[in-house]
Amino acid sequence: MRELSDVSTVSDDPLVLWVAQGMSPGVRAWANRGTVAVACPDLSCRDRLVIHGDAGDAVPLLNHALAEIGPTFRPIGDVDLIAEVTEVVEDLEFVSAFGWMDTDVPPPVEPDAAEWLDDADDRDVAALLESAMPDSYAWPGRPGVNRWAGRRDDDGTLIATAADAWSAPEVGFISGVATDITVRGHGHATATCAVVIGDLVRRHGQAAVMVDDWNTPAIAVYEHLGMRRRHLASARFA
């Protein structure tokens, strides 16, 4: 499949459409009846291969796709599907479970919640990430990271931030969510994410984020903002 319309005809799943990235250069897609696989290199710092559909159809599809694109691509999909294919595909091992959350409804936004930043704020964003979220995938200037929103305290210090990063035409994506450790628990991340999620829904029709299962504070923020949780998993070649 070479066109986004071909992919969406088989599946309009938000995860599939996100990995498809509008079928930008380098993206590959395959289908086996109602099951689809889409591969995108260097998407949110990983070579990603999403599979969606029936496990029986997914196994030959996955083998075919990986023969073409190579073992650097990590299959991701619903946790039960990944568990089933790792039992069958040789040398493919289950790595971890995590969450995908999405919404197509803009959340309420506080009048003074947060604002979109400009390039002059990149140094402040990087400083906040270095102290509060050093393992963030999104950083100022990294390819695919489009723009940042942030919230400052009364002294003008940036205390919370979140990025529009690796968004697809049909699915906006949020990353780089960080809050200064001295002011966590006061709603700063919620206020900042509300601005980003709302804008992504209006621009793309829906917004999504990936979150680790152990990160209960982040999950609570996204649920409060109306995002639905879905259990995914990833696999890799041993």
pLDDT tens digit string along 2-32? 677 667 777 899 999 999 999 999 999 999 9
Instruction: Name the E strands within 68-184.
Output: 74-78, 92-103, 115-116, 145-152, 158-165, 172-179
Q: Considering only CA atoms, give the Rg of the chain.
A: 18
Q: What domains can be seen in the chain, in order of their start residue?
A: 4-98 (no CATH), 105-205 (3.40.630.30)
pLDDT tens digit string along 124-173? 999 999 999 999 999 999 999 999 999 999 999 999 999 999 999 999 99
pLDDT tens digit string along 57-107? 999 999 999 999 998 999 999 999 999 999 999 889 999 999 999 999 999
Q: Tally helices (H) and strands (E) across the chain.
A: 7, 11
Per-chain mean pLDDT for the chain: 94
pLDDT band at 1 (very low <50, low <70, confident <90, very high): low
